[in-house]
Amino acid sequence: MNRDAEAALLVGATVIASLGVGLVNLAQGGTFDAQVALTFFVFAAAFGALHVALRRWAPAASPYLLPLGSVLAAIGFVEVYRIDPHFAGLQRWWLLIAAGLATLLLALFRNTGVAPLRRYRYMFLAAAVGLLMLPMLPTSWGFPVRGVIVNGSRLWTTFTLGPLRLNFQPGEIAKLALVVFLASYLAERQPALAESRKIGKVTVPEPRHLIPVAIASIAAFGLLVSQRDLGASLLLFAVFVTMLYAATERTAYLAVGSSMFLAGTAAAAFTFSHVARRFEAWLRPFADPADTGYQILQSLFALGSGSLSGSGLGVGTPDRIPAAWTDFIFSAVGEELGLAGSVAVIAMYALLVAVGVGIALRSRDLFRKLLAFGLAFTLGLQSFLIIAGVTRLLPLTGITLPFMSYGGSSLVANFLILALLARISHEERT
Amino acid sequence: MNGPIRRIAGFLFIAFGLLLLNVTYIQAIATSKYRDNPLNPRVAASISGKERGLIITADGTVVARSIADPDDPSRFTREYPEGSVYAPIVGYSSLLFGDEGLERVYADDLRSRRDLTLSDVINALMGRDLRPKSLELTIDNDLQQTAFDAMGDNTGAVVAIDPTTGAVLAMVSTPSYDPEVMLAPNATELRNALLDDPEEPLANRAVSRTYPPGSTFKVLVASSAVENGIAGPTTTFDDPLEFPLPGSTSTIRNYDRGPCGDGTTVTLSEAFRKSCNTIFATLGLQVGAQSLYDTAVSFSFDEPMRFDLPTQQSFFPDPSDLDGPALAQSSIGERDVRATPLGMALVAAAIANDGNLMQPYLVSRIVDATGETVSQVTPEIRTTAVSAATATIISQMMEEVVASGTGTRATVPNVRVAGKTGTSDASSGSPAVWFIGFAPVDDPTIAIAVVVLNGGEDATGGSVAAPIAGQILGHWLQP
């Protein structure tokens, strides 16, 4: 694999996106139209720019990252287009913006590498906390930035400027900032955190180092309470605990962290009706098929109807799944592309994680290693949680499927992850 | 610290492995649990599907149409406005069970071609019309409804044909079913109930079942005798009380257990009018197995029936299988002789049409979305069953059956009706009782076969089938 092969694969993804749009048109009685050409040019521009940026500023970067991301984005885009062409039109803009920001990031780090990120770690912490607080803003007040309640969860923020109204999920960007902060903080404090003390025959971490874990647990629980959604808090807390574990090699952090989170979740399930309903829907979806179980059943019906080879693009009825263009995009793909499509998508996420983890394993610098690991883990865990949610392996949580779901904040965050991983892999080979 | 990273990555890969197992379970193993669940909106939508063409009768009554879903104009619900009256002919189109009836046979014409198969894409790019085509039937809706009503609660079938063209004017099979149950949310359950029903409501008895034709088969025996110069209407026969089967102690008797006439001699014409088994057993032996077989074949027995619906063959045994007793019993339409109602309607139609048996058809025209005729049936002679002279003689004898014989209850005032009754030998339960005939005798416009299967032990063609035929003929000839 080299940059030329990468270019060829990116052309492939561009063709998949535009031909997919054409197929959807045909299936719905239309024909190849401007949408096909527009999709081709947008994908060509977005991934072409990133590819050229890699050639110029990170020529030794792993060539696997962009093709995987682009094919996932192509499949997701076609399905979003199939469900609602209006969202697809917006998604094309978001693709350009996300690719533009990722290109910009590669340009900024062309000489320095990712090292500057390390220096401003508390800025990132502040950004993460600030972003996470945004959805808790009042839903109607004078300030143009307001919280929004979607499906009972407070994950969204709206920004209004005259006629322009922009909804975004700050959590998507916050998780990125948090990973950067954690990588930097842990790289700095690693020796101290790894200290241990023997109590009797058991080796435990220094109790004072457990304080940050406790704080993070409380923060995650606070997040869960305020946003009333398991997904974001579980994701952030898991990223925190695993990075701590990776840095210190102390299994105790994992054990303490996960038991605290489980206890918190159980408490939430008993205390908050919204969380309880998610559990109820997970355990007994058929108990109340028209209400509690509705979402998950529609998802399962779509997947089951898709069967082995799927209904074909544009021929199924994924529009019957609620939120099919965001959280449930996987079910929509599963219906129209069948088990073949589902397996391909899951395999690509697994490959992406493998590439990311490989970069982390090869990193010689502690910060870059932790950063690469944190980014790959975030990507992998988020993909797993939402796919597990819509396939009823785990209770459903309100998070997006990286690269595939409709949504600007999600696309931007995940393209930045790709750019950072690419930059880190470049630095290990030069 | 690569150790923990590897371990965490390992956990993630196990998690992805679980995802793969889970989607495999949902999409490959437990598929039907979700796909066919009544709560799945796709089950209701499977009812609806792509647009299909119209099916209309000769007089413009719509019997199948596609209605666009108000929420999604690209999806259509199939409707059968005339319900069970046409179900045995039209059938249904279901994503769950596939297509039946004309919906199945003409699926390629009726369905929209916009299905994204490679050939459809090529056709679309070449600018061909992919819209569904419509079928125009030969059925006359008034006559069809009359025949359906006339059958009432009877189990059986009616086939009416235009003897000069072979166009099927009415085709009824009862009991029938409402095709829209195949499209209901609980279609599987409703269909299973229909499948388990011993009355076989899903069968089209007019074409897909055969029954012993009984005495209606005497039309063929008389035709064979006249055609081969063995007997004429005035030929006299001894009139015994019973006909001893050769080489056996059993006998053939008449329906009333008495002689045919006064017990001395009787003409063929009188024996035909009274449907005397003794005389026809004798006549059958005189005609011989080979000649009778040849006549049966010329009336389309033992021949694959080309038709718009899957059709059973009427059956007459091979001459080599016919010894004396078998030939005698076969000559009164018993033993192994079997006929479809369509087959017997064709026998009557051939006599009505100067001995020419017309190729039967149900779909007269296929029309494309712009109203252009894509194909149209031209009536053709299938076989010449008997000569015109023979047909005239048989026609006269059949007219006497309705005028003063076993078929008087098929009479239509002021119309000359020709016919023949039949009652199969039922060892237990109801016999198959028949009436076949045509009218008006001098210029026939309709030939008919009626069979009733549940008339009771004492039912005869004359008492049960003839009145039904009379009602239908009356409606056609005296609207």
Give DSSP secondary structure letters for A97-129: HHHHHHHHHHHHTTTTTTHHHHHTHHHHHHHHH
Question: Per the CB < 8 Å rule, is B19 touching A393?
Answer: yes
Question: Per the CB < 8 Å rule, is A246 touching B16?
Answer: no
Mutate one of B1, B37, B40 to test the A interface: name it (highest A CB count within 10 A). B1
DSSP H stretches of helix in A114-250: 115-119, 121-133, 170-193, 207-227, 230-248
In tens, the pLDDT along A14-67 reads: 999 999 999 998 887 778 888 999 999 999 999 999 999 999 999 999 999 999
Q: What pLDDT does A139 receive?
A: 74
Question: Per the CB < 8 Å rule, is B8 touching A245?
Answer: yes
Q: Are B366 and B461 in contact (CB under 8 A)?
A: no
SS3 call for B459: coil
Which residues in A lie closer than 8 A to residue B126 (C-beta atoms)?
Answer: none
Q: What pLDDT does A64 receive?
A: 94
Mean pLDDT, residues B34-58: 76
Question: Per the CB < 8 Å rule, is A301 touching B33?
Answer: no
- CB-nearest to B26 from A249, A300, A376 is A300
Nearest one of A242, A209, A237, A238 to A221, comparing CA atoms:
A237
Mean pLDDT, residues A212-217: 67
Q: What pLDDT does B428 receive?
A: 64
Q: Are A392 and A286 in contact (CB under 8 A)?
A: no
Portion of chain A with pLDDT greater than 70, in percent: 91
Structure tokens at B393: 């003689």
Question: Per the CB < 8 Å rule, is B19 touching A373?
Answer: no
Question: Per the CB < 8 Å rule, is B1 touching A369?
Answer: yes
Mutate one of B8, B29, B120 to test the A interface: name it (highest A CB count within 10 A). B8
SS3 call for B54: coil
Mean pLDDT, residues A378-400: 92
In tens, the pLDDT along A69-101 reads: 999 999 999 999 999 888 899 999 999 999 999
Which residues in A lie closer than 8 A to residue B71 (C-beta atoms)?
Answer: none
DSSP H stretches of helix in B25-82: 31-35, 41-47
d(Cα B264, Cα B262) in Å, to the nearest integer? 6
Which residues in B lie closer than 8 A to residue A369 (C-beta atoms)?
Answer: 1, 5
In tens, the pLDDT along A285-303 reads: 888 777 888 889 999 999 9
Who has greater pLDDT, A90 or B324?
A90
Q: What pLDDT does A231 receive?
A: 77
**Is the confidence at residue B283, as pLDDT, over 60?**
yes
pLDDT class of A379 with cuts at 50, 70, 90: very high
Structure tokens at A367: 């910060």
In tens, the pLDDT along B396-450 reads: 999 999 999 898 899 999 999 999 999 987 666 788 999 999 989 999 999 999 9
Q: How far is A381 from chain B (nearest CA, A)?
A: 7
Portion of chain B with pLDDT greater than 90, in percent: 56
Residues of B marked active site are found at 215
Give residue for tokens 């096909």: A36
Question: Per the CB < 8 Å rule, is A384 touching B41?
Answer: no
Question: Per the CB < 8 Å rule, is B20 touching A307?
Answer: no
Mutate one of A19, A317, A333 to test the B interface: name it (highest B CB count within 10 A). A317
d(Cα A160, Cα A147) in Å, to the nearest integer? 11
Q: What pLDDT does B440 receive?
A: 93
Burial classification of residue A316, based on how many CB atoms lie within 10 Å of its CB (0-12 exposed, 13-18 middle, 19 or more buried)? buried
ipTM of the modeled complex: 0.93
Interface of B with A (CB under 8 A): 1-6, 8-9, 12-13, 15-16, 18-20, 22-24, 26-28, 30-35, 37, 39-42, 45, 74, 114, 116, 121, 124
CA-derived radius of gyration, chain B: 28
d(Cα A47, Cα B159) in Å, to the nearest integer? 69
Mutate one of B11, B25, B27 to test the A interface: name it (highest A CB count within 10 A). B27
Q: What pLDDT does A225 receive?
A: 67
Which residues in B lie closer than 8 A to residue A182 (C-beta atoms)?
Answer: none
Who has greater pLDDT, B73 or B56?
B56
- CB-nearest to A307 from B31, B41, B74 is B31
d(Cα B148, Cα B433) in Å, to the nearest integer? 17
**Is the confidence at residue B183, as pLDDT, over 80?**
yes
**Nearest C-alpha in B relative to A27:** B116
d(Cα A203, Cα A221) in Å, to the nearest integer? 28
Q: How far is A391 from chain B (nearest CA, A)?
A: 7
Q: What pLDDT does B115 receive?
A: 52
Question: Per the CB < 8 Å rule, is A304 touching B9?
Answer: no
d(Cα A67, Cα A1) in Å, to the nearest integer? 11
Which residues in A lie closer than 8 A to residue B112 (C-beta atoms)?
Answer: none
Q: What pLDDT does B188 receive?
A: 79
**Is the confidence at residue B174, as pLDDT, over 60?**
yes
CA dihedral for A277, A280, A282, A285, sign (positive or negative): negative
Q: How far is A311 from chain B (nearest CA, A)?
A: 11
**Nearest C-alpha in B relative to A382:** B12
Could you check whether the bond before residue B341 is cis, i.e. omega within 30 degrees of 0? no
For A175, A308, B218, B237, the CA distances from B269, given in Å and listed in that order, are 102, 70, 11, 11
Q: How far is A157 from chain B (nearest CA, A)?
A: 31
Question: Per the CB < 8 Å rule, is B3 touching A305?
Answer: no
Which residues in A lie closer than 8 A to residue B131 (C-beta atoms)?
Answer: none
Which residues in B lie closer than 8 A to residue A334 (C-beta atoms)?
Answer: 23, 27
Q: What pLDDT does B130 receive?
A: 73
Mean pLDDT, residues A244-270: 83
In tens, the pLDDT along A116-157 reads: 898 888 888 888 888 888 877 777 777 777 777 766 667 777
**Is the confidence at residue B46, as pLDDT, over 60?**
no
Q: How far is B61 from chain A (nearest CA, A)?
A: 29
In tens, the pLDDT along B290-302 reads: 999 999 999 999 9
DSSP H stretches of helix in A391-407: none
**Nearest C-alpha in B relative to A355:** B9
d(Cα A335, Cα A323) in Å, to the nearest integer? 14
Question: Per the CB < 8 Å rule, is A377 touching B8?
Answer: yes
Which residues in B lie closer than 8 A to residue A246 (C-beta atoms)?
Answer: 1, 4-5, 8
**Is the confidence at residue A203, as pLDDT, over 70?**
no
- CB-nearest to A304 from B1, B4, B26 is B26
Q: Are strands B265-267 and B373-376 parallel, antiparallel or unpaired?
A: unpaired
Which residues in B lie closer than 8 A to residue A377 (C-beta atoms)?
Answer: 8, 12
Portion of chain A with pLDDT greater than 90, in percent: 43
Q: What pLDDT does B315 receive?
A: 94
Question: Per the CB < 8 Å rule, is B23 touching A305?
Answer: no
Question: Per the CB < 8 Å rule, is B23 touching A29?
Answer: no
Residue B376's DSSP bridge partners are B365
- CB-nearest to B35 from A307, A320, A353 is A307
Q: How far is B6 from chain A (nearest CA, A)?
A: 8
Question: Per the CB < 8 Å rule, is B42 touching A289?
Answer: no
pLDDT class of A162 with cuts at 50, 70, 90: low
- CB-nearest to B19 from A312, A317, A391 is A391
Question: Per the CB < 8 Å rule, is B35 touching A369?
Answer: no
Q: Are A172 and A410 in contact (CB under 8 A)?
A: yes
Q: What pLDDT does B470 receive?
A: 93
Which residues in A lie closer than 8 A to residue B24 (C-beta atoms)?
Answer: 339, 343
- Compute the count of residue pairs across chains A and B with CB atoms less than 8 Å apart: 130
Nearest one of B248, B360, B240 to B306, comparing CA atoms:
B360
In tens, the pLDDT along B135-157 reads: 999 999 999 999 999 999 999 99
Q: What pLDDT does A357 receive?
A: 96
**Is the confidence at residue A401, as pLDDT, over 60?**
yes
Q: What pLDDT does B119 receive?
A: 61
Q: What pLDDT does A115 receive?
A: 87
- CB-nearest to A349 from B1, B16, B30 is B16
Mean pLDDT of chain B: 88
Residue B363's DSSP bridge partners are B137
**Nearest C-alpha in A relative to B51:** A29
**Nearest C-alpha in B relative to A321:** B41
Cα atoms in the Cβ-side hemisphere of radius 13 Å centred on B439: 30
